[in-house]
Chain A
Amino acid sequence: MIGCYDFCGHYEWTFAWIEKNFGHDVLLAYWKEAIAEDSQIHASQLIKEKGFAGMEEYWGHTLAEEGAAYTSSCGKDSFRIDMHDCPSKGFLLANGLSQHKDYCDHCIGWIGPMMKNAGFVVDHEHNHLGKCWWSYRRVGEARQPSDPKAATSNIEAMPGWAPSSAKIDRFNGATGADQKQA
């Protein structure tokens, strides 16, 4: 049996297997069809129905279950998450697992299409070291400036965000993993 305890390990292996056997476009389709539209259909329904409040509800449950260290803030025009210690990437780093070239892309790979379907876009950065931030806004609305009151919890303002070994990937108003900024 393959289980949920080491899920992130065989999930990452699966990305590499799909890409090797069927190509990158099928991996993007896998994140959209299998994860966004099937596995995480409960998230999709919640966010479509309740918007930012649905995001708060979904991530409140799932990140607690996964044991994440994070902060979040829900505003009238945006919902933001700062991931200080990603349990998923953290599992791979702690166990020396690295099968796929960019594991972190899987998150926007499924969240992007889900948000698009619900009428939102994503501003996001990840540093490949278990830290990232996310801000969701409605399609057509301008990107939110960082809330100065939240600056103490904004991950990109903290030590450890960009050590010399970090490669930071950026997404601006994105709805998929293929929209990474050059």
Chain B
Amino acid sequence: MLPYRDSKAQGAADFYFAINATFRFLKRRFGIEKLVKYWSELGESSYFQPVAESWRNDGLPAIAEYWRDFFQAEPNASVDVTYSEQRVFLEVKQCPAIYHLRKNSRCIVSEFCQHCFYVSDALASRAGFEVRIKGGNGACEQTFAKRGSSAPQDLGSIKMADSP
């Protein structure tokens, strides 16, 4: 269940341009550290409070439901979400953002895929969970599990995004 509802079933894909441009602006002006701070603080913010609360109250089933609904509302996403008692596993076969940016020949911020880790891990930590990510640059695997159950995220296992 998504916390905020729109009158349309899916978002406007051109907004991915603004997301990518926001990352570039912060990185260029203030460096990667401030961009990471932006991602982390967004995950910790009141904006995601309803999501954090739902994950805290209802655990992994709520995490699975959130991501199913989330990707259904993102145009051209192809994602399988599976849930077991220990984890929620997202197989992102086609990332909607990278797909749209590439289709429109946009220069993609190389660390683009790291935002998934920093935002989601900050958000998940509020509910006692963590995320680990492998892959990127258009397709990746994301695993949500109880906090402390896996090794720290290796940023090297998140691919840099290529531009066309």
Contact = CB atoms under 8 A, between A and B. Distances in A.
Interface string B113-136: 001100110000000000000000
B162 interface: no
B6 A1 contact: no
Contacts of B116: 1
Contacts of A39: 17-18, 20-22
Interface string B1-20: 01111111011111111111
B52 to A, nearest CB: 14
Question: Chain A interface: which size bin?
Answer: 35 or more
A145 interface: no
Contact of A3 (B25, B34, B73): B73
A91 B17 CA distance: 19
Interface stretch (B40-48, B54-62, B81-89): B40-48
Interface string A74-116: 0000000000000100110011010100000000000000000
A71 interface: no
A6 B19 CA distance: 12
Given A1-B115, A11-B18, A40-B17, A6 B11 contact: yes
A87 to B, nearest CB: 7
Size band of the interface chain B makes with A = 35 or more
B145 interface: no
Given A4-B74, A34-B24, A99 B47 contact: yes
Contact of B5 (A2, A10, A94): A94
Interface in A4-57: 4-7, 9-11, 13-14, 17, 21-22, 26, 29-30, 33-35, 38-40, 42
A132 B80 CA distance: 41
Contacts of B46: 99
A3 to B, nearest CB: 5
A4 B5 contact: no
A35 B18 contact: yes
A10 B120 contact: no
21 contacts: A1-B116, A2-B42, A3-B70, A3-B96, A4-B74, A5-B10, A5-B74, A7-B12, A7-B18, A13-B42, A13-B45, A14-B22, A17-B42, A29-B29, A33-B25, A39-B20, A40-B18, A62-B14, A65-B14, A67-B8, A94-B5
Interface of A: 1-7, 9-11, 13-14, 17, 21-22, 26, 29-30, 33-35, 38-40, 42, 62, 65-67, 87, 90-91, 94-95, 97, 99
